């Protein structure tokens, strides 16, 4: 399977390889070199760590207006 490298140095991993390794959006992969100089693609299993803001996104279930939330965040009385 061949893939073309873009001007940004990006390569599309063929679907057959993604399926075989279980690579999904957000998966982290590593490139290793074996003793013969061959490059090996390895799925590391570590997903990108979410920021503290991403981890709470969409979880607030209170009944506050946007203005009330902004006042609370600003420390307004």
Q: What is the pLDDT of residue 14?
A: 92
pLDDT in tens, 11-65: 999 999 999 988 888 888 888 888 999 998 888 866 566 666 666 667 667 787 8
Between 74 and 13, the higher pLDDT residue: 13
Distances (CA, A) of 18 to 6, 14, 32, 36: 19, 6, 17, 24
Does residue 3 have a pLDDT over 70?
yes
Find residue 31's DSSP bridge partners: 41
């Amino acid at each position: 399977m061949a893939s073309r490298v873009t001007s940004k140095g990006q390569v599309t991993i063929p679907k057959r390889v993604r399926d075989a390794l279980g690579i999904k959006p957000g998966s982290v992969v590593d490139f290793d070199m074996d003793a013969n100089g061959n490059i090996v693609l390895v799925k590391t299993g570590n997903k990108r760590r979410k920021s503290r803001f991403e981890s709470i996104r969409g979880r607030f279930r209170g009944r506050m207006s946007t203005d009330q939330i902004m006042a609370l965040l600003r420390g307004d009385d």
